[in-house]
């Protein structure tokens, strides 16, 4: 190591080590408990949102009703949208 790189390495190395240690200490675990399902939401309400082309709202309602993941709800609502609007 020459004189130019020594100060930067002496400063960056402790910073990176401290960052990695803090990230490991303060990392919060993911909440994997499923959300409670709402039985007051009907298929007709979700279908009305799809017909109005409000897919985000339809996905939100689908997730609240079924308690499934975002990916599953998005797939289900998109499939419903393809049936209702077959040509786009």
- 60-82 pLDDT per residue, tens: 999 999 989 899 999 999 999 99
d(CA 64, CA 56): 12
Range of the domain at 70: 43-84
Indicate whether 14 belongs to any domain. Answer: no
CA 55, distance to chain mean position in Å, is: 16
Indicate whether 19 belongs to any domain. Answer: no
Indicate whether 8 belongs to any domain. Answer: no
d(CA 82, CA 88): 7
For the cut 80, the answer to whether the pLDDT of residue 26 exceeds it is no
d(CA 71, CA 60): 11
Indicate whether 76 belongs to any domain. Answer: yes
Indicate whether 52 belongs to any domain. Answer: yes
Number of domains in the chain: 1
Give tens-digit pLDDT for 27-56: 777 666 766 788 899 999 999 999 999 999
Indicate whether 6 belongs to any domain. Answer: no
For the cut 70, the answer to whether the pLDDT of residue 3 exceeds it is no
Confidence of residue 9 (pLDDT cuts 50, 70, 90): low
Indicate whether 15 belongs to any domain. Answer: no
């Amino acid at each position: 190591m020459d004189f130019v790189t020594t100060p930067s390495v002496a400063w960056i190395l402790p910073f990176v080590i401290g960052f990695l240690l803090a990230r490991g200490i303060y990392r919060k675990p993911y909440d994997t408990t499923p959300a409670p399902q709402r039985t007051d939401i009907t298929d007709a309400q979700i279908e009305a949102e799809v017909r109005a082309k409000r897919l985000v709202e339809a996905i939100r309602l689908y997730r609240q009703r079924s308690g499934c993941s975002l990916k599953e709800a998005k797939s289900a609502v998109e499939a419903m949208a393809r049936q209702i609007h077959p040509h786009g």
